[in-house]
Structure 1
């Protein structure tokens, strides 16, 4: 009887420590490392530029510092490659069940801002799930991964978190088949 209680107690304790909580500030810095090229793999919303879907949507970390980083963001259309710089700052305070916030703005137009929630980071698969709330109040989801891990095949925990954050929503994959200009 005592053995059965110990096994039951161990099961509760193990379940309690299995959940890692939301990523911390350190997870953000680990994912957005200096010179990392990060692809947007999928998103829960549609974007069109001049009537077409952009391809090769990426972020390249140009500068990484204590509370944030500067990104080169870019994409490709039939009209060519577009890129611009974005400054990102993170909150240093993180709590176990609250996603850290990354506030971004374009350096060429500081009126274009966005506040992301960094919900999940998998350091093995080098993928992350971010959300933001658009102008209509709708939560939008994005799944990002490092360029060298971009295969569309396995994102395990990131895919599960993406589905959890935007349940039942149609996902739109970003074409990454031919993006040699991104280095």
Structure 2
């Protein structure tokens, strides 16, 4: 897994209220300070595995700490890949370092890596966007969050790993409604 810089947009408060503007560092810390699973609702990049787009991606928080103007979060990231006939599922630790510039319109930046070493090589950094939401609130309206996501990563292809009908979430009726499709 490469280190990447991720512009993170999250549905805050109850993990989904339609948030206006960019999140603060405290908002990000509050969002990840949960026992809820955190779905990766949308992202502006792909990483195919054996020819398949990963699906049903969610994070289970392990730890969260703060140090000066940084937040360090460790999650166990789960995902599936495959098709109707055969699927594989995996989970592995991901280490996030979150920072934010002082501007009101600056989104928090999350540096993600599969190594806990803070001195990991970041030569392959690139900006990517992700939209996260608590699993229990998936399907609630988040129009402002979607607009912010598109604003931060324009002209990117968008991927919706949680909208696969192969995801085993107990909220399939929300998937059938297409609650997070762009026009």
Q: Does 1:98 align with 2:106?
A: yes
Say what the alpha-carbon RMSD is for the aligned residues: 3.3
Q: Does 1:88 align with 2:96?
A: yes
Provide the rounded CA distance (Å) in 1 between the counterparts of 2:122 and 2:136.
Answer: 26
- Structure 1 residues 157-168: aligned runs within 5 Å: 157-168=144-155
**Residue segments in structure 1 that go unaligned for 5+ positions in a row:** 1-19, 116-131
Match of 1:45 in 2: 45
- Structure 1 residues 1-183: aligned runs within 5 Å: 22-66=22-66, 67-78=71-82, 79-91=87-99, 94-107=102-115, 134=126, 139-151=127-139, 154-174=141-161, 175-177=163-165, 178-179=167-168
String of CA shifts for 1:70-129, please: whole Å, max 9, x gaps.
1101211234211111222233774433333333321389897779xxxxxxxxxxxxxx
| SS class of match (1:172) | coil
Provide the rounded CA distance (Å) in 2 between the counterparts of 1:144 and 1:74.
Answer: 14
* Contact 1:103-1:113 within 8 A present in 2 as well: no
Q: How many residues align?
A: 141
Provide the rounded CA distance (Å) in 2 between the counterparts of 1:80 and 1:97.
Answer: 39
* Contact 2:47-2:53 within 8 A present in 1 as well: yes
String of CA shifts for 1:28-79, please: whole Å, max 9, x gaps.
1011114231111112223311011211111111112233221101211234
Which structure has the larger Rg? Answer: 1
TM-score, length-scaled by structure 2 = 0.62
* Contact 1:24-1:100 within 8 A present in 2 as well: yes
Match of 1:17 in 2: none
Q: Which has the higher contact order (CA 8 A, sep 6+)?
A: 2
Provide the rounded CA distance (Å) in 1 between the counterparts of 2:59 and 2:150.
Answer: 22
Shift of 1:143: 1.5
Shift in alpha-carbon separation, 1:52–1:91, aligned structure 2, 3 A? closer
* Contact 2:77-2:91 within 8 A present in 1 as well: yes
More strand by share: 1
TM-score, length-scaled by structure 1 = 0.62
